[in-house]
Amino acid sequence: MRKRIGFFYFQIMRQLIFFCSVTILFLGCVFPIKRSEKSLVPYQENDKLYFLSSDGRLDSIFIKKIEVQRPGGIPDLIDSQSLSVYATSFDSITTIDKQRVKRENTFSIFGVQASHPGQKTEISIGLKGFGFTGSELSVLEFYRKDSVLLGDRILYNVFELENLIAGKYHFEPTNEDDIVKLYWNWDSGIVGYIEENGTYWLLEED
**Environment class of 64 (CB within 10 Å of its CB; exposed 0-12, middle 13-18, buried 19+):** middle
pTM of the model: 0.76
43 and 78 housed in the same domain? yes
171 and 94 housed in the same domain? yes
- Give the C-alpha separation, 145 to 165, whole Å: 21
60 and 100 housed in the same domain? yes
Beta-bridge partners for 168: none
Domain that holds residue 15: 1-30
7 and 106 housed in the same domain? no
- Give the C-alpha separation, 101 to 92, whole Å: 6
38 and 26 housed in the same domain? no
- Give the C-alpha separation, 202 to 56, whole Å: 11
What does the pLDDT look like over 140-177, one tens digit per residue?
889 999 999 999 999 999 999 988 765 555 667 778 88
82 and 58 housed in the same domain? yes
23 and 50 housed in the same domain? no
Q: How many domains does the chain have?
A: 2
129 and 152 housed in the same domain? yes
> What totals of helices (H) and strands (E) does the chain contain, helices first?
2, 15
What does the pLDDT look like over 119-141, one tens digit per residue?
788 899 999 888 888 788 888 88
Beta-bridge partners for 150: 153
